[in-house]
Amino acid sequence: MISLKNITHIAFDADDTLWGHEHVFVDAKARCLKLLRPYMKPGMDLEQELYAFERKNLKIFGYGVKGFSLSMIETAIELSGGNISGTEIKQIIDLGKEMLAHDIELLPGIPEALAAFKPHFKLLLITKGDLFAQENKIARSGLAAEFDIIEVVSEKDAGTYRSLLARHGIDPAGFLMLGNSLRSDVLPIVEIGGRAVHLPHEYTWHHEAMNEEDGIGYWRPDGGLSELTKAVLGAI
């Protein structure tokens, strides 16, 4: 466990930390598989094929449902040898629209944690992805008013966090980040001298998945957000 003393700012990731999100992609991949199965060669792994296009397209389309939808269309065209129909392409587009409109369901303990932290700390929401889509989810979540600072970034790495904290006059030594991704929410914060808490979610996207590190500089509470909330308040 890391020290939680002298915290001044607490930041939350959004997708799969404040609300569930990756399950929407899991469902979309399953439905896309059903659509493309007639075009697939025996033994072909659609998820791996799709991820190859996603990874290639990240620098062009960025993160989020829109880029994922375009990658699904490109995958469909490639796997079908260009034989996929306009009707089937439209089905993929409609699937992307459904993903963008999915219900925002807060994860357990989020309202309670925010209410407990708000009187004592400055709260931030830091999320990456498409600006319009992320702002839309934040608005529909009903949580916007709970945060003092909301930032939508294109990437979550040490440089991004360092610039963000400097812009808001935040000392990394007093900064605590909470998130489900070691790659995006935890290890970059530790690198710049902040503290982080890993709150794993049921689903993890391939791009964010990595082996658990040794825990130096961050904490993964066995009791999840509830245990964390008690520990933070106890350290005031």
User: Is the separation of the CB atoms in 104 and 137 below 8 Å?
Assistant: yes
User: Is the separation of the CB atoms in 7 and 235 below 8 Å?
Assistant: yes
> Phi then psi for 106, rounded to 5 degrees?
-65, 140
Q: Which of the pair, 19 or 101, is modelled with greater confidence?
A: 19
Could you tell me how far CA 208 lies from the centroid of its own chain?
A: 9
Does position 179 have pLDDT exceeding 70, yes or no?
A: yes
pTM score, whole prediction: 0.83
User: pLDDT digits over 95-132, tens only?
Assistant: 889 888 888 999 999 999 999 999 999 999 999 988 88
Does position 206 have pLDDT exceeding 60, yes or no?
A: no
Q: And the tokens for 220?
A: 């993964």
Q: What is the rounded average pLDDT of the residues 21-34? A: 83
Q: Say if 9-19+104-234 and 22-100 have the same CATH topology.
A: no
Judged by phi (left if over 0) then psi (alpha if -120 to 50, else beta), residue 217 lies in left
Dihedral sign, Cα of residue 127, residue 12, residue 121, residue 136: positive
Give residue limits of the domains in the chain. Answer: 9-19+104-234, 22-100
**Beta strands in 145-205, from DSSP E residues, in sequence order:** 149-153, 175-179, 195-198
Nearest to 48 by CA among 58, 33, 31, 35: 33
Does position 3 have pLDDT exceeding 70, yes or no?
A: yes
Average pLDDT score, the chain? 88
Q: What is the rounded average pLDDT of the residues 190-208? A: 79
Residue 5's pLDDT is 95
CATH superfamily of 22-100: Putative phosphatase; domain 2 (1.10.150.240)
> Residue 196: beta bridge partners?
177, 218
User: Is the separation of the CB atoms in 99 and 69 below 8 Å?
Assistant: yes
From CA 114, how far away is CA 98, in angstroms rounded? 29
Does position 183 have pLDDT exceeding 50, yes or no?
A: yes
User: pLDDT digits over 35-67, tens only?
Assistant: 888 888 787 787 788 788 878 887 778 777 888
Angle between helices 22-36 and 86-100 (to 10 degrees): 170
Nearest to 77 by CA among 50, 110, 42: 50
From CA 31, how far away is CA 23, in angstroms rounded? 12
Of 89-93, 122-126, 162-166, the range with the lowest mean pLDDT is: 89-93
From CA 101, how far away is CA 103, in angstroms rounded? 7
Residue 212's pLDDT is 59
Does position 208 have pLDDT exceeding 70, yes or no?
A: no
The CATH topology of domain 9-19+104-234 is Rossmann fold (3.40.50)
pLDDT category of residue 207 using cuts at 50, 70 and 90: very low
Residue 46's pLDDT is 77
Does position 216 have pLDDT exceeding 70, yes or no?
A: no
Question: CA separation (Å) from 232 to 5, 120, 216?
Answer: 8, 10, 18
Q: Which amino acid is at 23?
A: H
Residue 202's pLDDT is 67
DSSP-assigned letter for residue 15: B
